[in-house]
Amino acid sequence: MTTFWDALHVVLSPEIAAVMFLAAVFGLFVGATPGLTATMATALLVPITFFMPPVAAIGAIVTCSAMAIFAGDIPAALLRIPGTPASAAYTDETFALNRKGRLDLALGTNMTASALGGIFGTIVLVFAAPQLADFALSFSSVEYFWLALLGLSCATLVSIGSPLKGIVSLCFGLLLSMIGLDVVMGFPRFTFGSMDLQGGVSLIAVLIGAFAVAELMRKATNLGRPLPVPPPIRGSILKGQARVLWQHRKGLARGSVLGTLIGALPGAGADIAAWISYAVAKRFSRTPEKFGTGHVEGVVEASASNNAALSGAYIPALVFGIPGDSITAIVIGVLLIKGLTPGPTVFTSSPDLIAAVYVVFFLANFLMVPLGIAAIHLGRRILMIRPGVLYPLILLFCVIGAFATNNAVFDVWVMLVIGVVVWIMEANGYAAAPMVLGLVLGRVVEETFVNSMIKSNGSLLIFFERPLSAVLGVVTLLVWAYPVVVLLCRNLRHASPDTSSRAS
Amino acid sequence: MRLPDTVTGLAFALLGIAAVLVARGFPAPGGQAVGPALFPTIVGTIMAAAGLIVAGRALFDRNRRALRIEDWMRRPGTLVAIAIVPAGIATYALLAPLVGTIVVGAAVVFAMALAWRERVGAALLAGAVASVALYAFFVMALRVPLPAGPIELWFQ
């Protein structure tokens, strides 16, 4: 408990509180701007967090991403354009509420359910993470190898688009992670004689390229007319909220639980959580026919779900160092750069850091209500900002940010190449998230594999010797087998009508 | 940019094969089970196989997508708006070490704002304000030595 109070003291120090406040404003702004995602907000923050102590850096990222996920609901309700992909699931619903003249109800529900979902996810994080970490202390390099591999496998399986393309994207990230001195002998791999590549590809440059530069280029392909100016909001946003939430308390609880679980799953993040929760809400509703006509039930459940997912993703990230989504992949990257390797030992070696993460999460979700109300009222103005001014500014920020982390022009080139490659990849159905996960986890997979092999004198049996490693190994192999089985079943089903028609 | 799956699949397959070929030149492990070549070889092979399947599937798909001219490709304005993003980054990387961050940054923002259909006055203002503000933030608050030119030296 004393650690908790110490952490609260640290987080509420003027510097960190100021950093969190600014990150919140930044997150609300980016989230409320259609076309800018929460992941992009986080990627843009990274070069700045690079110069901060770890608690401030995590505080900035957590606050910014939580705010961005909520703020994505604002343009969704105002203009039927989701500000971030995580709001897409219920955009039609909140816009329908707007058409009914209940914009205050739509956005109020978005905000309060988001905050409650986020707080629920944080409570689970606070209780589950230390238990899991205790358990994980007995893990050896073998278990970590399987966990990292399992994380990568899940990431390709649940990634948007075809799993096959997810595998290609993952391999591309893994190859990127191998550039530089290798872990076994310190031999320079794929450096082609370049000194700049010896230390490896800069993660920050790749992140900004993949999540910001590629987005800018995609945005340019549909430079449309300026957005229409939405109407001002009438009525109090919090009025009647308690009643709505109490009425849909079951959905709120279900969305929070499901969101946390989906978030904790490697590779699945807030957007998938929102889609699934919205579908679940409809499935279990007594009035499913009202969905899509401006009915608040699904909005409660899915709004809670996507913010809960954000907290849930930190469970595997902090305990095992396996990111649950692209935002936590960025967080792990930032911690690694700061010389902190996320894992169970962090819970014993720096409990202050872990406690600070919890405090940051609670504060961020509490802050969401007052700052959210301000953002809802200013939302109209954010949407009136001209893209011709905003986007060039983001580009310059990307360039300077990529340069700043290592003071290297080379990193700017890396960002450029990755940005163009990811732009082409995403237009052709290759998701960027598996690539980033591959880049972050590639070294972990290789290091743990090599360490295990050295321990076993080259025998592969070590990977199945301990009961725990055997279980993890079998689960991983099942995840690999799953798409193959699905494909076979589908082919058989396709084949059977043919044979029956031939027989007749 | 939508390309046929045959093209993207083959491109990734070639990259995988190239990785395997380069890895063959890596030294053998001295008395150890695993050398630096093992992982690149495995990953390169998987990538080549997955890429070839992507390409092969598209090849045998009857309603496959040929290289199609998309709507935005016909609009020169949009092409410029897209190209200005990588071009702006390259310009900064090439020229900022010579001329300094403020001038190049302002020019990049100005050009991109124009390409994104902003008025000349607003574009000029955005360029000047953005580059000076970002330079000040990174140099003074974060103490990053950004590429400096005559203007920046004059500021100091």
- State mean pLDDT over B47-71: 82
| Average confidence (pLDDT) over B22-39 | 83
**Which of B17, B61, B65, B116 should be substituted to probe chain A, the one whose Cβ sees the most A Cβ atoms within 10 Å?**
B116
Residue A137 has pLDDT above 50, yes or no: yes
A188 beta partners: A181
As beta bridge partners, residue A181 has A188
Higher pLDDT, A240 or B54: B54
- Across the interface, do B82 and A404 touch by the CB < 8 Å criterion? no
Chain A residue numbers with beta carbons less than 8 Å from the beta carbon of B140 are none
CA–centroid distance for A477 within its chain: 25
pLDDT(A5) > 60: yes
Q: Which residues contact A485 (CB under 8 A, 6 or more apart)?
A: none
Query: Between residues B17 and A451, which one has the greater pLDDT?
Result: B17
CA nearest A410 in B: which residue?
B93
Give the per-residue SS3 of A10-30: HHCCHHHHHHHHHHHHHHHHH
- pLDDT at residue B148 is higher than 80: yes
Convert the pLDDT of each residue in A27-51 to its tens digit.
Answer: 999 888 887 888 888 989 988 888 8
pLDDT beyond 60 at A57: yes
pLDDT at A502: 42
- Residue A21 predicted with pLDDT over 70: yes
Let me know: does A383 contact A230? Beta carbons within 8 Å. yes
Q: Is the confidence at residue A497, as pLDDT, over 60?
A: no
CB < 8 Å to B120, chain A? none
Query: Both tokens of residue B61?
Result: 């798909």
Q: Cα dist. A77→A152, A222, A385 in Å?
A: 35, 21, 18
| Binary contact (A389, B113; C-beta < 8 A) | yes
Sign of the C-alpha dihedral computed for residues A156, A325, A397 and B153 taken in this order: negative
Q: Is A412 on the interface with B (CB under 8 A)?
A: yes
B153: pLDDT strictly greater than 90:
no
CA distances from A148 to A103, A317, A332, A482, B147 (A): 44, 11, 13, 18, 39
- At A9, which amino acid appears? H
Domain ranges of chain B: 5-60, 71-155
Size of interface A-B (CB pairs under 8 A): 202
Q: Which residue has the tokens 């109209």?
A: A380
pLDDT at B66: 63
Higher pLDDT, B65 or A293: A293
Q: Do A404 and B138 touch (CB under 8 A)?
A: yes
Question: Is any Cβ of chain B less than 8 angstroms from the Cβ of A385?
Answer: no
- CB-based contact A3:A355 (threshold 8 Å): yes
Place of tokens 């980016």: A30
pLDDT at B125 over 80: yes
- Rounded average pLDDT over B17-30: 89
CA–CA separation, A313 and A122 (whole Å): 10
Section B17-35 average pLDDT: 85
A349 Cα distance to chain centroid: 26
CA angle A252, A256, A262 (to 5 degrees): 140
Asked if A175's CB is within 8 angstroms of B15's CB, the reply is: yes
Instruction: Give the residue among B33, B125, B84 at the shortest CA–CA distance from A184.
Output: B33
Is the model's pLDDT at A157 over the cut of 80?
Answer: no
Contact A190 B40 (CB under 8 A): yes
Q: How many residues does chain A have?
A: 504
The residues, ordered by sequence, that sit 6+ positions from A99 with a Cβ below 8 Å of its Cβ are A294
Q: What is the SS3 string spanning A239-283?
A: CCHHHHHHHCHHHHHHHHHHHHHHHHCCCCCHHHHHHHHHHHHHH
Which of A332-346, A359-373, A394-408 is predicted with the least confidence, judged by mean pLDDT?
A332-346
Q: Which pLDDT belongs to residue B156?
A: 65
Helix (H) or strand (E) holding A385: none
Q: Quick one: pLDDT at residue A158?
A: 66
Whether B97 has a pLDDT exceeding 80, the answer reads yes
Tens-digit pLDDT profile for residues A89-128: 888 888 888 888 888 888 899 999 999 999 999 999 999 9
Q: How many CB atoms lie within 10 A of CB A81?
A: 17
Would an 8 Å CB–CB cutoff place A400 in contact with chain B?
Answer: yes
In DSSP notation, B42-61 reads HHHHHHHHHHHHHHHHHHH-
Strand partners for A180: A189
> What are the residue ranges spanned by the domains of chain A?
2-465
Tally of CB atoms within 10 A around A374: 11
* Best mutation target, A196, A397, A400, to test chain B (most B CBs within 10 A): A400
What DSSP string describes A75-110?
HHHHHS--SSGGGGGGHHHHHHHHHTT-HHHHHHHH
- What pLDDT, on the 0 to 100 scale, is given for residue A153? 84
Chain A closest-CA separation from residue B122 CA (Å): 8
Kindly list the residues from chain A whose CB atom is less than 8 angstroms away from the CB atom of residue B44.
171, 175
Chain length of chain B: 156
The answer to whether residue A442 scores a pLDDT higher than 70 is yes
For residue A101, is it left (φ>0), alpha (ψ between -120 and 50) or beta? left
Confidence of residue A17 (pLDDT cuts 50, 70, 90): very high
Determine whether the interchain pair B40/A221 forms a contact, defined as Cβ–Cβ distance below 8 Å. Answer: no
* Cβ neighbours of A386 in B, within 8 Å: 118, 122
Contact A240, A109 (CB under 8 A): no
* A453 → closest Cβ in B34, B81, B116: B34
Looking at residue B27, what is its pLDDT? 85
Which chain A residue's Cα is nearest to B4? A428
Which value, in Å, is the radius of gyration of the alpha carbons in chain B?
24
Q: Flag if A396 and B109 touch (Cβ within 8 Å).
A: yes
Q: Does A160 touch chain B (CB under 8 A)?
A: no
From A187, A392, A416, residue closest to B90, measured CB to CB: A416
Of these ranges, A151-160, A244-253, A477-486, the one predicted with the greatest mean pLDDT is: A244-253
Report the pLDDT averaged over residues A363-375: 90
Which among A178, A168, A166, A176 has a CA at the least distance from the CA of A207? A176
Q: What percent of chain A has pLDDT over 90?
A: 30
- Cα-based distances in Å from A29 to A48, A127, A226, A375, A381: 17, 32, 18, 8, 10
Residue A501 predicted with pLDDT over 60: no
User: B24: which 2 tokens?
Assistant: 């063959």
Cα distances from A59 to residues A103, A105, A138, A501, B55, in angstroms, run: 31, 30, 30, 64, 44
Q: Are A94 and A106 spatial neighbours (Cβ–Cβ below 8 Å)?
A: yes
Mutate which of A181, A395, A444 to test chain B, going by most B C-beta atoms within 10 A?
A: A395
Contact A311, A264 (CB under 8 A): no
Query: What type of residue is B66?
Result: A
C-alpha–C-alpha distance, residues A475 and A477, integer Å: 5
- Return the half-sphere exposure (C-beta side, CA atoms, 13 A cut-off) of residue A134: 5
Of A223, A404, A420, the CB nearest to B81: A223
Tell me the C-alpha distance between A41 and A43, whole Å.
Answer: 6
Is pLDDT above 60 for A9? Answer: yes
Q: Is pLDDT at B8 greater than 90 in this prediction?
A: yes
Cα dist from B10 to A79, A156, A417, B14, B68, whole Å = 41, 20, 19, 6, 18
Residue A499: is its pLDDT beyond 50? Answer: no
Distance from CA of B62 to the nearest CA of A (A): 17
Predicted ipTM?
0.94
Q: What is the pLDDT of residue B144?
A: 85
Residues in Cβ contact with A181 at an 8 Å cutoff, skipping those fewer than 6 apart: A187, A188, A189, A198, A199, A200
In the block, tokens 């949009």 appear at: B78
**Does A398 contact B at CB distance below 8 Å?**
yes
Mean pLDDT of chain A: 86
pLDDT of residue A159: 65
What percentage of chain B has pLDDT greater than the value 90? 56
